[in-house]
Amino acid sequence: MLTVENLNVYYGGIHALKGVSFQVRQREIVTLIGANGAGKTTTLKTISGLVRARNGKISYQDRDISSTPAHIIARDGLCHVPEGRRVFANMTVAENLALGAYHRRDQQGIKRDLEWVYELFPRLAERRQQLAGTLSGGEQQMLAIGRGLMSHPRLLLLDEPSMGLAPLLVREIFEIVKQINASGMTVLLVEQNAHMALSVADTAYVLETGRIVFSGPAREVAANKQVREAYLGA
Amino acid sequence: MQEVIQQLVNGISLGSIYGLIALGYTMVYGIIRLINFAHGDIYMIGAFVGYFAIRNFNLSFLPALLVAMAVCAALGTAIERLAYRPLRNSTRIAALITAIGVSFLIQNAALLAWTPDPRSYPDVFPLRTYEIGGVFVDNRQITILSVAVALMVVLHYIVNFTQIGRAMRAVAIDADTARLMGIDVDRVISFTFALGSALAAAAGVLVGIYYNRIEPTMGAMPGLKAFVAAVLGGIGVIPGAMLGGLVMGVAEVAVVALTASTWKDAVAFAILIVILLVKPAGLLGRQVREKV
């Protein structure tokens, strides 16, 4: 579904991604784990078109999207839920969700997805007229994911959904990621919380200072001695 | 008392014009953080387009107003496309200096095309004055006020209740995240310039009718005053621009009534200085820290 080949990204003089290659197959949960500054967020931003690669190729559904503008990529069913939630703070929950469906015209489908999102996150339904900025961190994360789902994506990129959340909430969010995936959506998950990420993912890639250093089925990656020492604290 | 109400009526008429111009400043600033110094000149072009529409094409008031708004919407979009968009990723000062350059360009082109001589605006409707309890209100003031209010209501509706309005607010808050929603940010910016410029054009036509006199340099002072109005209300805040405009109009009229008309322009800048000292975020603005 998504193939990234030999991606090189620079920020000014800093070589942020050094020949990153990986693959996401349909209906999988793929996770990209690594320390702060390893290039996880940069990878997602490059895929969704917010950052341009100097070279390399990104194919999504067999089409090269390396130079497609971000808003066109978003309209094509590739949805990026950014790090730090980035909800539109002085707009209501309902308005945020409506913006998620900005490019859609199928009113029936939008309505169905809205019901689905409110079902996944009942707390959003309770707070639909509340300003997004007044929500708690966990609720904002739910809103960010819900807003992403409103675009009815085929591929969902999630950047650090667990960031700054209490352990109980983290588990709740990951439970929902699994549900979303079970509904047929492919997920590319970026996480610092390697433990949680590896427990839900099918395939995992370990990113270290801009390079993929290790990859394989999530179970094998979780069992690897070096990965355990470096990322799982064991 | 009658005198106070009389001055209030005059001030509100003038203020609603400042408010219309201020809206363009504030919307553009809200979305791309640029003070569009050419905005006052778009207002001037609007006045001239209205003038020619009425005089040369025999249009009546409302069609002339709409033509002026349409022409300026196109002009505003073109300016953004040619002058500001190429500088989108450069420093803010570069765009600001460009805006001043565009202002000079338009103003001097107008001087060349239409000569510096003031022209008297064609009479679209004969002046009628009504007396209500000793206060004089004329049909031009009523027109200005009703057109301004109608436009502000339409703008409020667009910004708050339509898809494109929601997109405008989203881009103003966070352009990158708006892109991730599939919003074409360039299109939203074009639309914002079109909207702001159309409002300025309407203000231009209204001023032509109110003061019955237009000239190519007429945009400079109202442009600056409307900018002050936008800052006063809280730059980037749409209701703030309307409020700021009204306060400015009333203050100006009051100062002229109480002192001498030579203080007319000084009051605007006195307000600017005071607001920057006392409440830099403006009356309705919230204190935000600059993103680094």
Q: Where are the beta strands (DSSP E) in B108-209?
A: 129-132, 135-138
Nearest CA in chain B to A76: B182
Nearest CA in chain A to B185: A71
Predicted local confidence at residue A112, as pLDDT: 96
Q: Which residues of A touch B167 (CB under 8 A)?
A: 99, 102
Here the tokens at position B179 are: 């892109």
Average pLDDT for chain B? 92
With an 8 Å Cβ cutoff, are A88 and B182 in contact? Answer: no
Question: Quick one: average pLDDT of B123-135?
Answer: 86
**Per-residue pLDDT at B260 exceeds 90:** no
For B183, the closest of A71, A90, A95 (CB atoms) is A71
Q: For residues A159 and A82, is the Cβ–Cβ distance under 8 A?
A: yes
Predicted local confidence at residue B289, as pLDDT: 53
* Domains in chain B, CATH or no CATH each: 2-118+138-278 (1.10.3470)
For B180, the closest of A82, A90, A98 (CB atoms) is A82
Q: Supply the pTM of this predicted model.
A: 0.90
Could you read off the pLDDT of A133-177 as tens digits, one per residue? 999 999 999 999 999 999 999 999 999 999 989 999 999 999 999
**Per-residue pLDDT at A188 exceeds 50:** yes
**Per-residue pLDDT at A234 exceeds 80:** no
The CA distance from A96 to the nearest CA of chain B, in Å, is: 9
Nearest CA in chain B to A147: B181
The CA distance from A117 to the nearest CA of chain B, in Å, is: 16
**Per-residue pLDDT at B290 exceeds 60:** no
Question: Quick one: average pLDDT of B241-254?
Answer: 94
Q: Which residues of B touch A100 (CB under 8 A)?
A: 181
The percentage of chain A sitting over the pLDDT mark of 70, rounded to a whole number, equals: 100
Which residue of B159, B161, B163, B180 to mutate against A (max A Cβ within 10 Å)?
B180
For B179, the closest of A70, A88, A147 (CB atoms) is A70
Question: Quick one: average pLDDT of B265-275?
Answer: 91
Angle at B278 (CA atoms; ends B273, B280), nearest 5 degrees: 75
Predicted local confidence at residue A154, as pLDDT: 96
With an 8 Å Cβ cutoff, are B177 and A88 in contact? Answer: yes
Predicted local confidence at residue A229, as pLDDT: 84
Average pLDDT for chain A? 93
The percentage of chain A sitting over the pLDDT mark of 90, rounded to a whole number, equals: 89
Predicted local confidence at residue B291, as pLDDT: 45
CA neighbor of A105 nearest in space, from A134, A75, A129, A143: A75
Count CB neighbours of A72 within 10 A. Answer: 15
**Per-residue pLDDT at A227 exceeds 90:** no
φ and ψ of A91, to 5 deg: -120, 155
Using a 10 angstrom Cβ sphere, with 0-12 exposed, 13-18 middle and 19 or more buried, the burial of residue B199 is buried
Using a CB–CB cut-off of 8 Å, the residues of A that contact B are: 48-50, 69-72, 74-75, 79-80, 82, 86, 88-91, 95, 98-100, 102-103, 147, 151
Could you read off the pLDDT of A100-134 as tens digits, one per residue? 999 999 999 999 999 999 999 999 999 999 999 99
The CA distance from A125 to the nearest CA of chain B, in Å, is: 20
**Per-residue pLDDT at B100 exceeds 90:** yes
With an 8 Å Cβ cutoff, are B166 and A95 in contact? Answer: yes
Identify the H or E element spanning A180: helix A167-182
With an 8 Å Cβ cutoff, are B177 and A103 in contact? Answer: no
ipTM score here? 0.92
**Per-residue pLDDT at B94 exceeds 70:** yes
The percentage of chain B sitting over the pLDDT mark of 90, rounded to a whole number, equals: 77
CA torsion B102-B105-B110-B115 (nearest 10°) is 150
Decide if B163 touches A, using CB distance below 8 A: yes
Q: Which residues of A touch B182 (CB under 8 A)?
A: 71-72, 74-75, 102-103, 151
Chain A, chain B: beta-carbon pairs less than 8 Å apart: 63
Nearest CA in chain A to B187: A71
Nearest CA in chain B to A50: B176
**Per-residue pLDDT at A200 exceeds 60:** yes
Nearest CA in chain A to B174: A88
With an 8 Å Cβ cutoff, are B182 and A95 in contact? Answer: no
Question: Quick one: average pLDDT of A10-35?
Answer: 93
Predicted local confidence at residue A12, as pLDDT: 83
Predicted local confidence at residue B292, as pLDDT: 41
For A56: left if phi > 0, alpha if psi spans -120 to 50, otherwise beta; the answer is left
Q: Which residues of B touch A89 (CB under 8 A)?
A: 173
Here the tokens at position B257 are: 């009534």
Predicted local confidence at residue B113, as pLDDT: 96
With an 8 Å Cβ cutoff, are A75 and B173 in contact? Answer: no
Could you read off the pLDDT of B40-50 as tens digits, one per residue? 999 999 999 99
Nearest CA in chain A to B164: A102
The CA distance from B44 to the nearest CA of chain A, in Å, is: 35
